[in-house]
Amino acid sequence: MKLKRICKTLCTVVYVASAFAAGHSQAQQAYPTKPIRMICPFPPGGTTDVVARLVAQKLTEAWGQQVVVDNRPGAGGIIGTEIVAKAAPDGYTVLLGSITTHAVNPALYKKLNFDPVKDFAPVSLVVSSPQLLAVHPSVAAKSVKELIALAKAKPGQLNYASAGTGTSPHLTFELFKSMAGIDVVHVPYKGTGPAITDLIGGQVQMMITGVVALMPHIKSGKLRGLGVTSAKRVAALPDLPTIAESGIPGFDVSSWFGVFLPGGTPKPIVAKMNAEIRKILEVPEVRQRLISQGADPASNTPEEFAAYVKAEMAKWGKVARDTGTRAD
């Protein structure tokens, strides 16, 4: 009798475990069954926000579940990034991360309240985008060389805006300063949008940030573009030279944006989101929209994206050390 009871108990345990596993698997296959929150760790108006809204719109159309963009700016993207790091790993909280959140911030801050590697499940790269050096039209410089000459003639008297201390535009401009040998004062903002607003208004004089965010203002004449940060010119702005060909050989920086889920998210969910994002980036309308804004559509596997992020962390860690830039 005792043996029968043991066998019955074991069978019950196996049955319950199997039923749970089957139910869990079915839930993953049915995903998503409710709205998804996509955290954008920067204010509206910046490149991260533009890319987040495009991805969210297309995922909503594909899945029939609302993907809502939730802007959670602050601390150079750290606040929004931390929300996702500590969210339930069920696929219903997503991060539109970037070079700032996963490569630059770990290089600039000695301590973060999350692990940029262990606390995230990389899904896919979405776009790669050069940055652009722009000035207010009142600045007496119409080229990178003229701006460098002006800055050297007025050390410490000119200023530049950034999306915030510790962001990619901040570190990119610090690299520009170091390679150009100039002294320009940093004015940090709480996001790209507010910084561009003040640049257009003439409260600050220059800025480096994503082509996507600056290009409309360059084309409208509200700002003057001097050069792009990539090694090659941007197709959407073919007449705008690179910084490398304008007096700083070897200057080559591109921003990137990608989708992350909380660490521990089941692989079937990661795989399903990855597959959908890759489909989205193959749609001609989406590709043309991104390219026309100066961005290059780019997708990869979760494993490739994870390796890419680690390489970027190593690269920007070296830049931070070489320029002596810290954000603490």
For residue 324, the model assigns a pLDDT of 83
Q: Is the pLDDT of residue 16 over 50?
A: no
DSSP conformational letter for 38:
E
pLDDT single digits (tens) 284-318: 999 998 888 888 899 999 999 999 999 999 989 98
Size (the chain), residues:
328
Q: Are 238 and 211 in contact (CB under 8 A)?
A: no
CA dihedral 133, 137, 142, 144 (to 10 degrees): -20
C-alpha–C-alpha distance, residues 66 and 83, integer Å: 20
CA distance 291 to 212: 9
pLDDT in tens, 172-209: 999 999 999 999 999 999 888 999 999 999 999 999 99
The Cα 245–Cα 293 span in angstroms is 22
pLDDT at 235: 85
Is the model's pLDDT at 11 over the cut of 70?
Answer: no
**The one-letter amino acid at 148:** I
Q: Cα 177 to chain center, whole Å?
A: 23
CA distance 254 to 8: 62
Q: Specify the pLDDT at position 292.
A: 85
The number of angstroms, rounded, from the C-alpha of 195 to the middle of its chain's C-alpha atoms is 17
Give 97's DSSP letter: E
Please name the fold of domain 29-128+255-323.
D-Maltodextrin-Binding Protein; domain 2 (3.40.190)
Summarize the confidence of residues 219-237 as an average pLDDT: 93
pLDDT per position as a tens digit, 84-124: 999 999 999 999 999 999 999 999 888 899 999 999 999 99
Task: State the pLDDT confidence band at 10, using cuts at 50, 70 and 90.
Answer: low
Mean pLDDT of the chain: 90
User: CA dist 75 to 35, 93, 305, Å?
Assistant: 27, 20, 25
Instruction: Record the tokens describing residue 313, joined without a space.
Output: 């962390």
Helices (H) and strands (E) in the chain — how many of each? 12, 10
State in Å, rounded, how far the first CA of the chain is from the last one. Answer: 68
> Would you put residue 5 in left (φ > 0), alpha (ψ -120 to 50) or beta?
alpha
> Among residues of the chain, what percentage have pLDDT more than 90?
70
Looking at residue 164, its pLDDT comes to 85
What's 241's DSSP letter?
P
Which residue's structure tokens are 């100039």? Answer: 182
| CA separation for the pair 115, 104 (Å, rounded) | 14
What is residue 131's predicted lDDT score, i.e. its pLDDT? 93
Q: Report the candidate in 120, 122, 39, 170 with the shortest Cα–Cα distance to residue 308.
A: 122
The arithmetic mean of pLDDT across residues 24-42, rounded, is 83
| Res. 6 pLDDT band, cuts 50 70 90 | low
Q: Do 95 and 63 contact (CB within 8 A), yes or no?
A: no
Q: Compute the chain's Rg from CA coordinates.
A: 23
Each residue of 64-86: b (16+ CB within 10 Å) or e? eeebebebbbebbbbebbbbbbe
pLDDT greater at residue 27 or residue 223: 223
Has residue 23 got a pLDDT over 50?
no
Q: How far is CA 299 from CA 65, 88, 179, 217, in A?
A: 22, 25, 31, 28
The identity of residue 319, as a single letter, is: V
> What architecture does CATH give domain 130-246?
3-Layer(aba) Sandwich (3.40)
Q: Return the SS3 of 65.
A: coil
